[in-house]
């Protein structure tokens, strides 16, 4: 995108907070590089305003948009149709205007797996401890199971997501070769799960700015050098968990590449073009 015209198509991000997001940088740069007449903006939309915001975007006939926390689960109930993956996951992070029908997709899981691979790791045959059972966690869990994870411990507090998580775990166990366990999250259960896991992933907002002191892992002694640790948060780039893991010699990565690759898939769904990810990565992520 070089300039706004009368034909410019609108895309963007809904969520709260969103002012820290790198999505406008990468999408607008990709539009510019490919000469596409699109623009990407951020809209701070808390969950209680999501329905009215969505109806407004539909009336404006936007090309599509992304959703981030806390809007992903509710958006899955608002769209006209769900992709097969989004239906299983029960959360939407990408909405596409398909000739007036707004279809919800979820690209978080594929974004996570590609970011894992970018860091030189593979999910095949691995056991993962997954902290959280919300939209992002569900997407990661489904994709990891489909891509060959051996076992996944989903650790969650018994909140509004619990019953949905029970159904998701049952569906994965019945339809893949991966063994998935839903476990109530506390300090002891985190330690027990991590002890036998290859990968620890925080898929909750705990530790995200401005509450950067938050960390679900209270005892750093459960972290060992051969453990792969990922935190899908990227603001700050190094959360408390990230720093703890780095100090223990773990291979550790944040949510930046997950953001890049889930965004690349959304970009393709909106435009039919492949995002120039290497150029975007070099400019904004390395």
Q: Cα separation of 119 and 260, whole Å?
A: 14
Three-state DSSP class for residue 135: helix
Annotated binding residue 272: no
Is position 35 annotated in a ligand binding site? no
From 58, 59, 72, 101, active-site residue: 72
Annotated ligand binding at 22? The verdict is yes
Is 232 part of any known ligand binding site?
yes
For residue 249, give both structure tokens. Answer: 């010699």
Half-sphere exposure (Cβ direction) of 30: Cα atoms closer than 13 Å: 28
Flag whether 149 is marked binding: no
Report whether 115 belongs to an annotated binding site. Answer: no
**Residue 100 is assigned to a ligand binding site:** no
Q: Is 261 annotated as contributing to ligand binding?
A: no
C-alpha span between 145 and 254 (Å, rounded): 21
In this structure, are residues 46 and 16 in contact, taking their beta carbons and an 8 Å threshold?
Answer: yes
- Cα R_g (the chain), whole angstroms: 18
Give Cβ neighbours of residue 281 (< 8 Å, ≥ 6 apart).
257, 260
Does 179 appear as a known binding residue?
Answer: no
Q: Are 93 and 108 in contact (CB under 8 A)?
A: yes
Is 58 part of the annotated catalytic residue set?
no
DSSP-derived letter for residue 134 is: S
Q: How far apart are CA 241 and CA 237, in angstroms?
A: 11
156 among the known binding-site residues? Answer: no
Q: Is there a binding annotation on residue 134?
A: yes
Q: Is 18 left (phi over 0), alpha (psi -120 to 50) or beta?
A: alpha
Element spanning 230, H or E: strand 228-231
What is the DSSP secondary-structure string of 157-174? -SSTTHHHHHHHHHHHHH
21 is in an annotated binding site: yes
The three-class DSSP label of residue 89 is helix
Positions at the binding site: 21-23, 68, 93, 108, 132-136, 232, 234, 255, 262
- The catalytic residue positions are 72
Known binding positions for shikimate: 21-23, 68, 93, 108, 234, 262
Binding site for NADP(+), by residue number, is 132-136, 232, 255
């Amino acid at each position: 995108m070089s300039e706004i015209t009368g034909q410019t198509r609108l895309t963007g991000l809904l969520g709260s907070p969103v002012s820290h997001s790198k999505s406008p940088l990468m999408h607008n740069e990709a539009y510019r590089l490919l000469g596409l007449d699109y623009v990407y903006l951020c809209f701070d939309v808390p969950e209680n305003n999501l329905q009215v915001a969505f109806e407004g975007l539909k009336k404006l006939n936007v090309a599509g948009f992304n959703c981030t926390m806390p809007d992903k689960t509710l958006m899955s109930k608002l769209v006209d149709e769900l992709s097969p993956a989004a239906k299983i996951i029960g959360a939407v992070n990408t909405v596409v205007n398909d000739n007036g029908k707004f279809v919800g997709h979820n690209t978080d899981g594929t974004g996570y797996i590609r970011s894992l691979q970018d860091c030189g790791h593979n999910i095949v045959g691995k056991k993962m401890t997954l902290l959280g059972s919300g939209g992002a966690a569900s997407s990661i869990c489904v994709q990891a199971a489909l891509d060959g994870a051996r076992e996944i411990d989903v650790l969650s507090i018994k909140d509004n997501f619990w019953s949905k998580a029970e159904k998701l775990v049952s569906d994965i166990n019945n339809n893949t070769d991966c063994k998935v366990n839903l476990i109530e999250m506390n300090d002891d259960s985190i330690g027990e799960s991590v002890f036998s896991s290859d990968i620890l992933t925080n898929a909750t907002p705990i530790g995200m700015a401005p509450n950067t002191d938050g960390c679900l892992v209270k005892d750093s002694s459960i972290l060992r050098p051969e453990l792969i640790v990922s935190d899908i948060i990227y603001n700050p780039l190094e959360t408390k968990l990230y720093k703890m893991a780095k100090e223990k010699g773990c291979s550790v990565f944040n949510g930046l590449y997950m953001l890049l690759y889930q965004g690349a898939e959304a970009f393709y769904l909106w435009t039919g073009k492949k995002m120039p990810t290497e150029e975007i990565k070099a400019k904004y992520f390395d």
